[in-house]
């Protein structure tokens, strides 16, 4: 994954941005632990978990965007087919259907 | 989408296979209408809806597999970036995060 | 599932509304078959499948809302626990994690 | 959320179990940061993110199971309807459709 100075549109993100998002997600998971520990209202905890999932999926899509651009597209003819299959299977797992 | 005589591994499928699956899905949706109409036990109806979603996602992944192979990979350098973005965004919508 | 004259807020819906939505979904699935048959642009087909999934989930949530209100809440003490478990498991299957 | 000595079947879990799972998830998120930082193979990172999502959803379903049992079912008649709606909406957000 290349570090690019100028992130572009869509899901693409630099390595630094992805790590920064993952740090934020780590903090959110710690926040949920605290909420559960303090017996906070369950619906609020679940809403927070949904937000974490959205953030994780954004990171995953960012990684796959980068991967599609740099590893799949530029793969030699012999491995491209295999890489595409790998990519689509990774999406399948994200969907929870593997 | 090319029609290939020999479907391969993973999510890939021929056009005929995709249409056959969609016909089956159409029948399943009709079945759910009947279940609702006959006041069938709600949990069974929802279980059937989950099965339909799984089948639809398999079709979507089959289409995206084909697309990645034939439209994205073989795109000219100028449009490849754009096509990749489109592909990842399509996955994002499947995840329900757009 | 009771038929109510006045549907209320959130996901709740009358039996008639649910059946009408399922008919629309059936038509959408047929539309996707046609799109695949006509070799329409794959990304557009997948976008349409995402829309169908969203519509199916709305139906499922409507059914579960009705079920929670009428079958789980009013269950006798002895069966309520079991019904709750059934409800949460049905949600788990919708999430694609079972 | 009551702490029970004996967790039961399905998605239900004690408070301690939920916190233990969230700590494990926090560690997994830190692991993903490390993977991204070390430029590990993207597909492996995404597979790990999918596993975290599955674990988070299991926690969410555990919380909602507990909530349905203790807060919704035992709610007074006046608030039960509202609580059900809240529960189903929380599930909708988990599905990424809100």
| Chain segment D1-53, per-residue pLDDT in tens | 444 444 445 788 899 999 999 999 999 999 999 999 999 999 999 999 999 99
**What pLDDT does residue A97 have?**
60
Nearest CA in chain D to A68: D42
Tell me: pLDDT of B98 over 70: no
**What pLDDT does residue C68 have?**
86
**What pLDDT does residue A3 have?**
43
Instruction: Tell whether B54 is within 8 A of chain D (Cβ).
Output: no
Long-range contacts of residues A66-72, Cβ cutoff 8 Å, at least 24 apart: A66/A1, A66/A2, A66/A12, A66/A13, A66/D42, A67/A1, A67/D42, A67/D43, A67/D46, A68/B68, A68/B72, A68/B84, A68/B87, A68/B88, A69/A12, A69/B81, A69/B84, A70/A1, A70/A2, A71/D42, A72/B68, A72/B73
**What pLDDT does residue D69 have?**
82
**What pLDDT does residue A63 have?**
93
* Chain D residues in contact with C54 (beta carbon < 8 A): 97
Return the residue matching tokens 């009551």: D2
A–B: how many Cβ contacts below 8 A? 74
Instruction: Tell whether A9 is within 8 A of chain C (Cβ).
Output: no
Q: Do B73 and A73 touch (CB under 8 A)?
A: yes
Q: Do D36 and A18 touch (CB under 8 A)?
A: yes
pLDDT band with cut points at 50, 70 and 90 for residue C5: very low
Tens of pLDDT, residues B23-55: 999 999 999 999 999 999 999 999 999 999 999
pLDDT band with cut points at 50, 70 and 90 for residue A70: confident
Find, among C5, C1, B87, D6, the residue nearest to A65 by Cα.
Answer: B87
Q: How many beta carbons lie within 10 A of that of residue D34, not counting itself?
A: 12
Q: Do B43 and C19 touch (CB under 8 A)?
A: no
**Nearest CB neighbour to B80, from listed A10, A73, A84:** A73
**What pLDDT does residue D97 have?**
61
Select from A33, A52, A71 the residue whose CB has the most chain D CBs within 10 Å, as the one to mutate to test that interface.
Answer: A33
Tens of pLDDT, residues A20-51: 999 999 999 999 999 999 999 999 999 999 99
Tell me: pLDDT of A68 over 90: no
Chains that touch D (3 or more CB pairs under 8 A): A, B, C
Instruction: Tell whether A69 is within 8 A of chain D (Cβ).
Output: no
Instruction: Tell whether D9 is within 8 A of chain C (Cβ).
Output: yes
**What pLDDT does residue D6 have?**
44
Instruction: Tell whether C26 is within 8 A of chain B (Cβ).
Output: yes
Determine the 3-state secondary structure of C4 from DSSP: coil
Instruction: Tell whether D75 is within 8 A of chain A (Cβ).
Output: no
Find, among A57, A91, A51, the residue nearest to A72 by Cα.
Answer: A91
- Give the global pTM: 0.85
**What pLDDT does residue B97 have?**
61
- The tokens for A75 are 């793969």
Give the CA distances from residue B95 to residues A85, A88, B83, D96, in Å, rounded to whole numbers and listed in that order: 18, 13, 19, 7
Question: d(Cα D26, Cα D19) in Å, to the nearest integer?
Answer: 10
Phi then psi for B55, rounded to 5 degrees?
-65, -40
Question: Average model confidence (pLDDT) for chain B?
Answer: 85
Tell me: pLDDT of C16 over 90: yes
Return the residue matching tokens 């969203």: C54
Helices (H) then strands (E): counts for chain A: 3, 0
Question: d(Cα A69, Cα B82) in Å, to the nearest integer?
Answer: 10
Find, among D6, D21, D5, the residue nearest to D62 by Cα.
Answer: D21
Instruction: Tell whether B38 is within 8 A of chain C (Cβ).
Output: no
């Amino acid at each position: 994954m290349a570090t690019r100075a100028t992130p572009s549109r869509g899901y693409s993100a630099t390595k630094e941005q992805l790590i920064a998002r993952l740090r934020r997600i780590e903090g959110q998971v710690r926040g949920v632990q605290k909420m559960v520990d303090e017996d906070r209202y369950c619906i609020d905890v679940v809403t927070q978990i949904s937000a974490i999932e959205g953030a994780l999926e954004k990171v995953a899509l960012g990684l796959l965007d980068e991967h599609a651009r740099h590893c799949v597209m530029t793969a030699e003819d012999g491995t491209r087919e295999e890489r595409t299959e790998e990519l689509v299977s990774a999406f399948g797992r994200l969907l929870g259907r593997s």
